[in-house]
Amino acid sequence: MTPTARAAAVAAGLPAKRRDRTTLASLFSNQFDATDINSWNSIIADLSRGGDSVESLRAFASLRSASPVSPNRHTFPCALKSCSSLLDLFSGRQIHQQAVKFGYSSDLFVSSSLIDVYSKCGETRDARMVFEEMPVRNVVCWTSMINGFFLRGQLREGMSLFRELLAEESKTKDEEGAGIVLDPVAVGSVVSASGDAADYALLTSIHALVVRRGFEEDSAVGNTLMDAYGKCGYINATKKLFGWMIEKDSYSWNVMISSYAQSGMAEEALGVFTAMVEDSDCDYTPVTLSAVLLACSHLGALRAGRCVHDQVVKMNLEDNVVVGTHLFRRGSHHRHARSITSTSLAVCPNARLTLGLDLPFAGFEFLDHPLSCFTHSIMSPRINALSILVPNGTTFLRMLGPRTSETLNMESQFQAYIFRHAVRA
């Protein structure tokens, strides 16, 4: 049986998965003492850990507005974690002001959380200000600040701070091993950044540091190294690391499948996917299905792609941006493209589909009528009324790329739409 056929057979038997969520109402239905700050902290923390960041911030607001008790040093990190998850800079600044008011702005854990919020929201200047004002720093603070630079694409600044961390570690470490100690998380962030920048020289030097510090057995570091080598185009290195790993998790398998798929090695990607489902105890994820769909697109393996598509439907992932984009890519090369697109647009309640809007149009450039997707999905009053699809400048560049009689006739409509909706690049 070929890798494509085996992957199709495996995909047909994949089970669907669901996850329960905890709500604010169910937590408040239990015994709750509004005069006990520990009860409030428990509510805010449980909601934040459960993924209900909005409700967590509402609970914090209720504490401040309706409760006679004041927040303590354990309250602010939980609320700030929710701000980080939501990328809610406005709420983060408000909570920062509250922390200053109650005298916790210099607290180690509060400051670390503030650095994380500002860094993830792109405010590296504010994050660095909090970092510099900290009387005491631990490796978590250093890692958050370094990651903040990397998230903004500031590789030089991030690496400069990482070197300062190594110098600080050497300076503060005493005979008993106290002080700042480099951990796998900090090293993993640098590995990831070198992969994102496709800086092979930096990656190999950090890999050497990983080996010297004994972090190569850490699964998270190993996964990040695999991903980084894959992004740099060194698939053989990714394959070796994957083979050397004693314990592989879902992320490990996903990285190997994605690396093969993105390098055009579709049969190898499907072979790894089959081995993942048949020979491992790891669960597949939307990222797994996305990588498999990309491999099917490269191979033109319609049968295997359909089987994976069936599992996407069973798992209610049709509105998932990552999976949906590759469904469009797979369909764009076949006669089923319009039916896949129409179905996905009709059932998708997720406004984030906008982020993947340009990719299906790129795929529809291969069809006989490239404007049909645009006119159906954007000009359609029914779909446009849902306010889920908003084209940007890239969308129109895709559509106006080839100068044909069809695009020339549509230019006036495009100009009117761009002016009416203030389309940005």
pLDDT at 58 over 70: yes
* pLDDT band for position 285 (cuts 50, 70, 90): confident
Task: Name the residue among 214, 289, 293 with its Cα closest to residue 254.
Answer: 289
Spatial distance between the Cα atoms of 295 and 421, rounded to a whole number of angstroms = 37
Contacts of 62 (CB under 8 A, 6+ apart): none
Contacts of 21 (CB under 8 A, 6+ apart): 50, 51, 52
pLDDT, residue 35, reads 79
Task: Name the residue among 84, 199, 117 with its Cα closest to residue 153.
Answer: 199
Number of neighbouring beta carbons within 10 Å of residue 383: 17
* pLDDT band for position 170 (cuts 50, 70, 90): confident
Spatial distance between the Cα atoms of 381 and 387, rounded to a whole number of angstroms = 10
Q: What are phi and psi of 98, to 5 degrees?
A: -65, -40
Spatial distance between the Cα atoms of 97 and 113, rounded to a whole number of angstroms = 14
Spatial distance between the Cα atoms of 370 and 377, rounded to a whole number of angstroms = 12
Torsion of CA 133, 139, 140, 141, to 10 degrees: 20
Better-predicted residue by pLDDT, 75 or 372: 75
Residue percentage of the chain with pLDDT more than 90: 42
Spatial distance between the Cα atoms of 100 and 105, rounded to a whole number of angstroms = 5
* pLDDT band for position 306 (cuts 50, 70, 90): confident
For residue 387 the two structure tokens come to 């306010």
Average pLDDT, the chain: 76
User: Is 264:298 a contact under the CB 8 Å cutoff?
Assistant: yes
* pLDDT band for position 287 (cuts 50, 70, 90): confident
Residue 25: burial class (beta carbons within 10 Å; 0-12, 13-18, 19+): exposed
Which of 288-297, 351-360, 381-390 is least confident? 351-360
pLDDT at 376 over 70: no
**pLDDT one-digit tens code per residue, 206-219:** 999 999 999 988 99
The helix/strand/coil state of 389 is coil
pLDDT, residue 298, reads 72
Residue 353 DSSP one-character state = G
Residue type, 370: P
Task: Name the residue among 300, 307, 369, 368 with its Cα closest to residue 329.
Answer: 300
For residue 348 the two structure tokens come to 């998708």
User: Is 67:38 a contact under the CB 8 Å cutoff?
Assistant: no
Spatial distance between the Cα atoms of 106 and 411, rounded to a whole number of angstroms = 57
Residue 23 DSSP one-character state = -
User: Is 85:48 a contact under the CB 8 Å cutoff?
Assistant: yes
User: Is 238:271 a contact under the CB 8 Å cutoff?
Assistant: no
Number of neighbouring beta carbons within 10 Å of residue 20: 5
Spatial distance between the Cα atoms of 90 and 403, rounded to a whole number of angstroms = 45
Cα dist from 195 to 154, 168, 206, 226, 243, whole Å: 14, 25, 11, 9, 20
Cα dist from 364 to 303, 327, 360, 382, 402, whole Å: 20, 12, 6, 21, 13
Task: Name the residue among 327, 328, 406 with its Cα closest to residue 371.
Answer: 406
